[in-house]
Amino acid sequence: MSLLELNNLSVTFGNFKAVDNISYKVEEGEVLGIVGESGSGKSVSSLAIMGLIDFPGKVNADALSFDQQDLLAIDDKKRRQLTGADIAMIFQDPMTSLNPCFTVGYQIMEALKTHQGGSKKQLQQQAIELLTQVGIPAPETRLSAYPHQLSGGMSQRIMIAMAIACNPKLLIADEPTTALDVTIQAQIVDLLIDLQRKKNMGLVLITHDLALVSEVADKVIVMYAGQIVESGTAADVFSHPKHPYTQALLQSLPESAASKSRLNALSGVVPGQYDRPQGCLLSPRCPYATEQCYTTEPATQGSIERQVKCHTPLEMTPVTETATGSHPQ
Amino acid sequence: MILTTESPTNTGSTMADTILTAQELKQHYRVKQGFFKPEATVKAVDGVSFTLKKGQTLAIVGESGCGKSTLGRMLTMIETPTAGAVDFEGHDLLNLDKQKQAELRQKIQIIFQNPYGSLNPRKKIGTILEEPLVINTNMSQAERKQKALSIMAKVGLKEEHYNRYPHMFSGGQRQRIAIARGLMLDPDIIVADEPVSALDVSVQAQVLNLMMDLQDELGLSYVFISHDLSVVEHIADDVMVMYLGKVVEKGKKADIFSNPQHPYTQALLSSTPQLNADKRRTRIKLEGELPSPLNPPNGCAFHGRCIHANDRCHTETPTLQSQKNQLIACHAVEEGRL
pLDDT, tens digit, 9 for 90 and up, residues A180-192: 888 888 888 999 9
pLDDT at A319: 45
Contacts of A153 in chain B (CB under 8 A): 289
Q: What class, spelled out in words, does domain B14-107+185-334 have in CATH?
A: alpha beta
Choose among A130, A109, A188: nearest CA to A154. A188
In angstroms, the Cα distances linking A190 to A215, A237, B77 are 11, 23, 41
For residue B12, pLDDT over 60 is answered with no
Beta bridge partners of A244: none
pLDDT at B4: 44
Choose among A200, A186, A203, A194: nearest CA to A31. A203
Choose among A251, A305, A247: nearest CA to A32. A305
Assess A73–B contact: CB distance below 8 Å, yes or no: no
DSSP 8-state secondary structure symbol assigned to residue A273? S
Assess A318–B contact: CB distance below 8 Å, yes or no: no
* DSSP-derived pairing of the beta strands A63-66 and A69-70: antiparallel
pLDDT at A181: 84
Mean predicted confidence (pLDDT) in A252-264: 84
Residue among B171, B285, B289 minimizing CB distance to A153: B289
pLDDT at A327: 41
**Residue A7 CB neighbours (<10 A):** 14
Assess A274–B contact: CB distance below 8 Å, yes or no: no
Q: How far is A186 from chain B (nearest CA, A)?
A: 6
Contacts of B158 in chain A (CB under 8 A): none
A71-75, A86-90, B51-55, B279-283: segment of lowest average pLDDT: B279-283
pLDDT at A328: 40
Phi, psi (deg, nearest 5) at residue A322: -65, 150
Contacts of B271 in chain A (CB under 8 A): 182-183, 185-186
* Rounded-to-integer distance, Cα A112 and Cα B104, Å: 61
pLDDT at A316: 52
Q: What is the mean pLDDT of chain A?
A: 88
Residues found in chain A: 329
For the stretch A116-159, pLDDT in tens is 888 999 999 999 999 998 888 888 888 999 999 888 888 999 99
In angstroms, the Cα distances linking A328 to A280, A315, A321, A324, B44 are 18, 7, 14, 9, 56
**Do the beta carbons of residue B188 and residue B107 sit within 8 Å?**
yes
pLDDT at B81: 92
Assess B63–A contact: CB distance below 8 Å, yes or no: yes
* Rounded-to-integer distance, Cα B59 and Cα B250, Å: 10
Assess A179–B contact: CB distance below 8 Å, yes or no: no
Cβ contact B234–A254 (<8 Å): yes
pLDDT at B257: 92
Rg over CA atoms, chain A: 21
Phi-psi region of A255 (alpha: psi -120 to 50; beta: other; left: phi over 0): alpha
DSSP 8-state secondary structure symbol assigned to residue B186? -
Q: What is the DSSP string of B231-280?
A: HHHHH-SEEEEEETTEEEEEEEHHHHHHS--SHHHHHHHHHS--SSGGGP
In angstroms, the Cα distances linking B307 to A135, B285, B315 are 19, 9, 16
A100-104, A169-173, A201-205, B202-206: segment of lowest average pLDDT: B202-206
In angstroms, the Cα distances linking B104 to A144, B90, B152 are 52, 11, 23
* Rounded-to-integer distance, Cα A302 and Cα A289, Å: 20
Domains of chain A, by residue range, sit at: 101-165
Residue among B172, B208, B253 minimizing CB distance to A263: B208
Cβ contact A252–B205 (<8 Å): yes
For the stretch A1-15, pLDDT in tens is 789 999 999 999 988
**Do the beta carbons of residue B126 and residue B163 sit within 8 Å?**
yes
Contacts of B283 in chain A (CB under 8 A): 186, 190
Q: Which residue of A has its CA nearest to B267?
A: A183
Enumerate helices (H) and strands (E) in chain A, giving the number of each. Answer: 12, 13
Residue among B209, B274, B280 minimizing CB distance to A263: B209
pLDDT at B16: 65
First to last CA, chain B: 48
Which amino acid is located at A303 in the chain?
Answer: S
**Residue B138 CB neighbours (<10 A):** 7
For the stretch B72-116, pLDDT in tens is 999 998 999 999 999 998 889 888 888 888 889 999 999 988 888
* Rounded-to-integer distance, Cα A234 and Cα A218, Å: 6
pLDDT at A256: 81
Mean predicted confidence (pLDDT) in A245-273: 85
Q: Which residue has the higher pLDDT, A291 or B2?
A: A291
Contacts of B208 (CB under 8 A, 6+ apart): A254, A263, A265, B196, B231, B234, B235
* Rounded-to-integer distance, Cα A290 and Cα A299, Å: 15
Contacts of A286 in chain B (CB under 8 A): none
Beta bridge partners of A259: none
Q: How far is B183 from chain A (nearest CA, A)?
A: 21
Whether omega for the bond prior to residue A56 falls within 30 degrees of 0, making it cis, is yes
Mean predicted confidence (pLDDT) in B126-154: 93
Domains of chain B, by residue range, sit at: 14-107+185-334, 118-184
Assess B281–A contact: CB distance below 8 Å, yes or no: no
Cβ contact A255–B275 (<8 Å): yes
3-class secondary-structure state, position B112:
coil
pLDDT at B3: 45
Cβ contact B204–A38 (<8 Å): no
Contacts of B172 (CB under 8 A, 6+ apart): A269, B199, B200, B203, B206, B207
* DSSP-derived pairing of the beta strands A307-309 and B91-92: unpaired
For residue B7, pLDDT over 60 is answered with no
Contacts of B142 (CB under 8 A, 6+ apart): none
pLDDT at B251: 94
For the stretch B13-69, pLDDT in tens is 444 689 999 999 999 999 888 888 888 888 899 999 999 999 999 999 988 888 888
Contacts of A40 in chain B (CB under 8 A): none
Assess B142–A contact: CB distance below 8 Å, yes or no: no
3-class secondary-structure state, position B60:
strand
